[in-house]
Amino acid sequence: MSDYGSGASAKVTVIEQSLESLDEFVYAESADEVGLEPGDEEIIVSITKTFDWFITHAGATDADETEYYLKIGDDETPHTDEPFGLYNDPFRFSPVIPVAKNIEAAYYAKLAAAAPGSVKYVAKIIGFKR
């Protein structure tokens, strides 16, 4: 198993883990809406913990002409044209994604330069302490 933030991989991988053995809940959500103009790319929510943990769920506003991805330290998930689940119905990762202590886990949105106007996003990341 590799921990994110080690710089050893340019690709995000996931591992199997039983959530029954985890005892601390991790949660981050956008404090406010994050507005993007066409061509902008921004973090829509991020979290850094002082312990190793797993991302179990993520969700965000679904908007046309938007690219989404998670970045854990220097590693990124594949970019998709749909969010990892919706803000009110987040996607459950199976297997879960490990995050090393003191490494930022950030959820990004990138609005296409050709988008007809600005978009406002909210997002959340949910997980458990290892």
Is the residue at 5 inside a domain?
Answer: no
- Percent of residues, the chain, with pLDDT higher than 70: 82
What six digits make up the tokens of 90?
Answer: 């987040």
Strands 34-36 and 41-47, by their bridges, are unpaired
What six digits make up the tokens of 52?
Answer: 């190793």
Is the residue at 36 inside a domain?
Answer: yes
Is the residue at 7 inside a domain?
Answer: no
- pLDDT-derived band at 23 (thresholds 50, 70, 90) equals low
57 has which bridge partners?
A: 92, 126
- pLDDT-derived band at 130 (thresholds 50, 70, 90) equals confident
Rg of the chain over Cα atoms, rounded to whole angstroms, equals: 14
Is the residue at 70 inside a domain?
Answer: yes
Is the residue at 122 inside a domain?
Answer: yes
Q: Does the pLDDT at position 5 exceed 60?
A: no
The number of folded domains in the chain is 1
Is the residue at 10 inside a domain?
Answer: no
Domain coverage including residue 113: 19-129
How far is C-alpha 102 from the geometric centre of its chain's CA atoms?
16
- Residue type at 76? E
Is the residue at 14 inside a domain?
Answer: no
Whole-structure pTM value: 0.80
Is the residue at 114 inside a domain?
Answer: yes
| pLDDT tens per residue, range 106-121 | 999 999 999 999 999 9
Strand, helix or coil at 19? helix
86 burial type by CB count under 10 A (0-12 exposed, 13-18 middle, 19+ buried): middle
* Residue 38, number of CB atoms within 10 A of its CB: 14
Q: What is the CATH number of the domain that holds 82?
A: 2.60.120.230
